[in-house]
Each structure stands twice: as structure tokens, then as C-alpha cells.
Structure 1
């Protein structure tokens, strides 16, 4: 029994020794796909396009095609438009976790798809234009996330590569305009990223 237990433990250590970490450093374009009509259709609210530095960390499960990736974007300054004019400026973080399937093959290209969850964490809201002086609170929100892309590792590269991917996030945070209205801001952004990857 003891020998069997030792053998199982050694097999476990051996399998995890093949696991890899991958660090990815990219630049992203964040493009909201929705807008929101408020006040009975008298006004339209929309988050504008933004750009961000988006590092991520990925854990590759041994010799399997599966991995898990955590998106760790730096704080993003975001503008919310009211009838096309800037009305609210805020900062937010979009931490996102996706569980991925990597289509391994004999070439340097490794396509992948992933599904998971995302969060929208906002703070430091400031108003301007028609809402200047009005208190606005944007609450946190959580939703579905999807991902598709590929990693390319040149033949002469040992650990580094380049990647391109697109993510979709289902995000509709609640916005409270004090004394005026409360509504869900439909953002549902696409996030397009290009960058470098490094395995170790």
C-alpha cells in the first residue's frame, strides 16, 4: 500500500512538472457594442471606445490542451456620453478569467477559444456637461466572457511569441443619477488585443 501511495505521488509530481506559465503583454482597443435609451427615450447613453495596456497571466495544465488565463488590465479611464456629449468620466478595472482550449498542431500557430467570467469595477466618477454638479454612482457588475484568438511562436523562438485575440464581455452596470434616474448601462464590449507572450 505504501509503495502504491509513493508511486501515485511521484506520478502527480511528474505530471505537474510539465505545467507551464505564460505571461502576455498587450495593447487593447475596447469597443462597446450597445447603447441605452433613458428617460422614456428622451436621451441615449453610451460608453465610448477606449484603449488600454492589458497584461495577463496564463496557466497551462501540463501536456493537455487546456489552460486558464487571467486578464489584469491597468486602470482604464472611460467616458460615458449623453446624447453624444461627454457626461461622466470614471475609472474602472475589468478583471476577466477564461478557461481555454488550445488547438495544438505541428505549426507555430496555436488557435484557441475560451469562456469564463468578467467583472466591471468602477470608481472616481466625475460629471460634466449637462450633468455637471450631479452625483453619479456606477455600481460593479459581473457577466459572461468569451475569447478567441491565436498565439504564434516562430521556429527559432524558445519561449516567446506574439498573439492576437478578441474578447466579448457581457456587462451592464447599474448607474444611479441622484435625483434623476437609475438605469442599467448596456456596454457589452468587444476587446481586441495584440501583444507578446513568454512561457516559463
Structure 2
């Protein structure tokens, strides 16, 4: 499903490549889970993480764009009663359609809605003996709000800040010395600040 969504998005962008402008954004993010999960083992929660999050954005006109958020692999430690028990490496590709509130200043607020994915691999347990862990891919809603600021003397570059919400609850299965299955309610807020360049 993720491959199909990405292919359709890229085909749409390629077909419109001569009609607007591209923007590349380089940012640093804080990934802050907002939920925890009550399981038979106790309360399980993912911790906060930091990530390098570049993105590519295509502007159809001054107000409408679509943005694909990428990221370097993110490591999430999952805690049980405050102790790290699982480490998950994952990618969070996110595609949003955005509306920019264009005005006569260099300050341009925007909002966006779309979809996101949780693509996990290299899952490991810590301190659970001979226990294996498997985390399934998950897909969910994504929302975004932020702004881009372009100084008066800047032709193509600017700085931006945005906050995203991602609705993600991947299924986790433990087997071996410890056996359990539950949905890990992460639903993170992702706060990003960075540099943008339009060409």
C-alpha cells in the first residue's frame, strides 16, 4: 500500500513538474509520543527522540502544495514501567497536501492534511531474556501547521517551523520468555525547525 501511494504521488508530481516550483527543506525534529498503552505487562510507552527530517515540496501555485517528509532512520526506545525493554528502528514517510496563507509579508503560515506510515525494522528486546519482538507496519492520518519566513533580502531561501500530528499505533508482538501482543499507541507530535530553499 505504501509503495502504491508513493508511486501515485510521484507520478502526479512528475506530470506537473513544469507548472510550478520545487522546494527542499532541511530540518531537525523532536518526535514526541503523546500516548501510552495499558497492557497485561503494565504501562508501555515510547520515548522522545530527535531526528534529521529533510522534505521535498512541490508548489502548484502560490497557495497549494504537496510535501513529502523523509527522515534519517529513527530509533525509538519503548519503556515498560520506566525501563527500556524494546528498541525499534523506523522510518516515518508522510505525505501532506498544504494550503499557504500568502500575504504581502515574508511570513507565510500554512496548514496541511494527509497520511503517514510507520515502517519498522531491526526490532530488539532489552532485559527480557530470550524474547523476540516483531512490529508491524502501520498507516494513519497526519496533520500539519506551521510557517515559512523569508527575509526581505532573500530570493530563494527561508526558515520554517512546523508541528505535525501523526496517528500511529503499530502492533507489537513479543514471543519467547515474555509473550504479549498489543497496539503501541504512539500518536506523536513532531516539532521541526529548519532551512528552506525554493527553485
Q: Given the two structures, how large is their TM-score scaled by the length of structure 1? A: 0.88
Partner of 2:86: 88
Equivalences, count:
182
Deviation for aligned residue 1:126: 1.1
Give unmatched runs, 5+ long, in structure 1: 1-14
1:17·1:62 contact (CA, 8 Å) conserved in 2?
no
- Residue by residue over 1:63-91, the C-alpha shift from the partner in whole angstroms, topping out at 9 and shown as x without a partner, is 4x110000011111110001110001121
Partner of 1:12: none
Written as runs of structure 1 = structure 2, the 5 A alignment for 1:55-66 is 55-63=54-62, 65-66=63-64
Quote the Cα distance in structure 2 between the aligned partners of 1:171 and 1:197. Answer: 27
Higher-Rg member (1/2): 1
Is it true that 1:99 corresponds to 2:97 in the alignment?
yes
Give unmatched runs, 5+ long, in structure 2: 1-15
Deviation for aligned residue 1:132: 3.4
Q: Determine helix, strand or coil for the equivalent of 1:171.
A: coil
Alpha-carbon RMSD: 1.3
Q: Determine helix, strand or coil for the equivalent of 1:57.
A: strand
Partner of 1:178: 175
Quote the Cα distance in structure 2 between the aligned partners of 1:16 and 1:54. Answer: 23
Written as runs of structure 1 = structure 2, the 5 A alignment for 1:3-82 is 17=18, 19-39=20-40, 42-63=41-62, 65-82=63-80
Deviation for aligned residue 1:17: 4.5
Q: Determine helix, strand or coil for the equivalent of 2:65.
A: strand
Q: Given the two structures, how large is their TM-score scaled by the length of structure 2? A: 0.89
Quote the Cα distance in structure 1 between the aligned partners of 2:99 and 2:192. Answer: 18
Partner of 1:110: 108
Partner of 2:123: 125
1:141·1:171 contact (CA, 8 Å) conserved in 2?
yes
